Amino acid sequence: MAKRKQLKKEGKVAIPTASMSDIAFLLLIFFMVSTTFRKEVGLKVILPEARATEKLTRTRDISHIYIAKDGKISVDDKIVTPDVVKIAYARKVQEKPELIVSIKADKRVKYDYVDKVIEALRDAKALRVVFATDYKK
């Protein structure tokens, strides 16, 4: 009896931590599987229609530029000027020479805005440019 009282007086509480790593990894896997990443939103544009179009099969090395009908230019979800387009794409092309630039311009935009973006891309040495359209049946 004396030994039992001594053990109770010491009262060391041990928390089992053997399964803590299992729980941490299960939570990590759960959040990795259930998390969705936000894609680039861009500006609201109505694409022009085309009778003949070609779908890009590679979607990995594509960067999008949106041009709204009022002339706003969006790169990486930020409203920018053509000068900023030149700086941003000079850096992007230097990092990834195989980069394809997709211009998504509203069908009602003045061509002057599109021309400024194309000139900025030419100055940035981003020469692989495509124009996005809707397919007209």
Q: Where in the chain is the domain with CATH 3.30.420.270?
A: 49-135
Residues 99-115 have a mean pLDDT of: 93
pLDDT at 46: 81
* 137 pLDDT tier (thresholds 50, 70, 90): confident
Domain range 49-135, its CATH number among 3.90.700.10, 3.30.420.270, 3.40.50.300, 3.40.50.150: 3.30.420.270
Q: Regarding predicted confidence, which is higher, 39 or 61?
A: 61
pLDDT at 4: 57
Average pLDDT in the chain: 85
Q: What is the pLDDT of residues 1-42, one digit of tens each?
A: 555 555 555 667 777 777 888 889 999 999 988 887 767 677
Residues 45-72 have a mean pLDDT of: 84
Please answer whether residues 136 and 107 qualify as being in contact, where contact means their C-beta atoms are separated by less than 8 angstroms: no
Tracing tokens 């009908």 back to the chain, one arrives at 69
Please answer whether residues 86 and 63 qualify as being in contact, where contact means their C-beta atoms are separated by less than 8 angstroms: no
Whole-angstrom Cα distance, residue 79 to residue 97? 24
pLDDT at 8: 57
